Amino acid sequence: MKVFISGADGALGREMQVLLRNQGINFLGADVNQFDITDFSKTKDALLNYRPDVILHFAAISDVDRCEEEVELAFRTNALSSLGLAIIAKKLKAKLLYISTNFVFDGAEEKIYIEYSKANPINEYGRTKLLGEYYIKDIYDRFFIVRTSWLFGRHSKTFISKFLVNKNKPGSIDVICDQFGSFTYIPDLARMILLLIKSENYGIFHIVNQGIGSWLDFALKAKELARFKTEIRPIKTEELNLSAARPRFAPLGSNNFEYLFNKRMRSWEDALTEFIKVIKQGA
Ligand SMILES: NC(=O)c1ccc[n+]([C@@H]2O[C@H](COP(=O)([O-])OP(=O)(O)OC[C@H]3O[C@@H](n4cnc5c(N)ncnc54)[C@H](OP(=O)(O)O)[C@@H]3O)[C@@H](O)[C@H]2O)c1
């Protein structure tokens, strides 16, 4: 199996590279420094030359507020690049795995979203990621669309991940207490992606750790486990004046994945316990 990874230097891309290397699987990882995934002809030339069996499309503008401010860039990177990769995957008869998000849902009701819940994004990030899904589904049938949520791990750009790996912790931090969702430990997600691409079970999958919480719940649990001194202060989303609206309640249910693979992800608390251990070992 030969794998191509877009967005290979991102948080998920880096973890995936480690896993593929450990498994002895050949891969070519490219990020914006190697070539820009929104340049269709360069991407096509590179992939027709490398001829992967699997394309992992991780590249994205993952900063939700930046997407709101740079809509055209978000559209090209999150949506149009998926059109290009779907066409290339079809030509190569390669499997295509695209990472999408729980932000395709509006989060207006207190319910868990399953794979066929109605999408209704409320910000540009969600809208452009959903368009990426549509492009892929319209063009090609050998796809895995993996919706995930609130990634955490060593290289994650999320606020709490960066805080946890930082050795010089501030005296206090403000943490959002009024958004609820699912958390996903990046190494767990990478392992499930490997399982998917080894299979022929195509379709839409929600892959997240079990359990629902807010970032405040997450930070307090991390404090209990890692015993750091930083004071954690709850803050409401509106106090932050962010550019993009956030779904208020958008946890994901993994029906398709659990049914087809007979597997359940561990709880986010168990995954967080491992992450804290990993950070301590690295310290
Ligand atoms: N992080 C989350 O909580 C979360 C939740 C749900 C879904 N997802 C999705 O999961 C995937 C991986 O997320 P992540 O946290 O690993 O994101 P990430 O760390 O931002 O990684 C994405 C990578 O893509 C690169 N990239 C951006 N534009 C590109 C272009 N035109 N050509 C090639 N590469 C480009 C980025 O480079 P720069 O850093 O230079 O921009 C970055 O290295 C993304 O598709 C994201 O939408 C993430």
Mean pLDDT of the 247-254 span: 97
Query: In a 10 Å sphere around its CB, with 0-12 CB exposed, 13-18 middle and 19+ buried, how is residue 22 labelled?
Result: exposed
> What phi-psi label fits residue 110: left (phi over 0), alpha (psi between -120 and 50 degrees) or beta?
beta
Q: Report if residue 173 sits inside a domain.
A: no
Query: In a 10 Å sphere around its CB, with 0-12 CB exposed, 13-18 middle and 19+ buried, how is residue 222 labelled?
Result: buried
CA of 146 to the centre of ligand 1 (A): 14
Q: Report if residue 104 sits inside a domain.
A: yes
Question: In ligand 1, which atom is closest to the CA atom of 57?
Answer: 45
Q: Report if residue 37 sits inside a domain.
A: yes
Instruction: Look up the pTM and report it.
Output: 0.97
Q: Report if residue 223 sits inside a domain.
A: no
Q: Which one-letter amino acid corresponds to residue 147?
A: R
Per residue in 226-255, is it b (16+ CB within 10 Å) or e — as a string? Answer: beeebebeebeeeeeeeebbbbbbbbbbbe
CA of 229 to the centre of ligand 1 (A): 31
Neighbours of 153 (CB within 10 A): 23
Residues near ligand 1 with C-beta < 6 Å?
Answer: 6-7, 9-13, 31-32, 36-38, 58-62, 77, 99, 101, 129, 148-151, 156-158
Q: What is the CATH number of the domain that holds 50?
A: 3.40.50.720
Count of domains forming the chain: 1
| pLDDT tens figures, 102-124 | 999 999 999 999 999 999 999 99
Q: Report if residue 81 sits inside a domain.
A: yes
**Looking at the predicted structure, is the pLDDT value of residue 63 above 90?**
yes
CA of 210 to the centre of ligand 1 (A): 23
| pLDDT tens figures, 176-219 | 999 999 999 999 999 999 999 999 999 999 999 999 999 999 99
72: Cα within 13 Å, side-chain hemisphere: 0
Q: Which of 58, 97, 147 is the pocket-test mutation for ligand 1 (most atoms within 8 Å of CB)?
A: 58
| Rounded Cα gap, residues 136 and 129, in angstroms | 11
Nearest CA to ligand 1 atom 11: 58
Q: What is the mean pLDDT of the chain?
A: 96
Q: Which of 40, 47, 62 is the pocket-test mutation for ligand 1 (most atoms within 8 Å of CB)?
A: 62
Query: Domain residues for 46?
Result: 2-153+183-210+250-267
Q: Which of 31, 85, 149 is the pocket-test mutation for ligand 1 (most atoms within 8 Å of CB)?
A: 31
| 106, 115, 209, 212 from 112: Cα distances, Å | 12, 10, 13, 9
Q: Report if residue 198 sits inside a domain.
A: yes
Nearest CA to ligand 1 atom 29: 32
Q: What is the pLDDT of residue 283?
A: 53
Q: Report if residue 13 sits inside a domain.
A: yes
Sequence-separated contacts (24+) of 36-39 with Cβ below 8 Å:
37/6, 37/7, 37/77, 37/81, 37/84, 37/85, 38/76, 38/77, 38/80, 38/81, 38/84
Q: Report if residue 93 sits inside a domain.
A: yes
CA of 60 to the centre of ligand 1 (A): 4
| pLDDT tens figures, 78-106 | 999 999 999 999 999 999 999 999 999 99
Mean pLDDT of the 124-138 span: 98
Who contacts 134 (Cβ-Cβ below 8 Å, separation ≥6)?
Answer: none
| Rounded Cα gap, residues 266 and 36, in angstroms | 35
- Quote the tokens at residue 162: 């960066």
Who contacts 115 (Cβ-Cβ below 8 Å, separation ≥6)?
Answer: 147, 203, 204, 205, 206, 255, 256
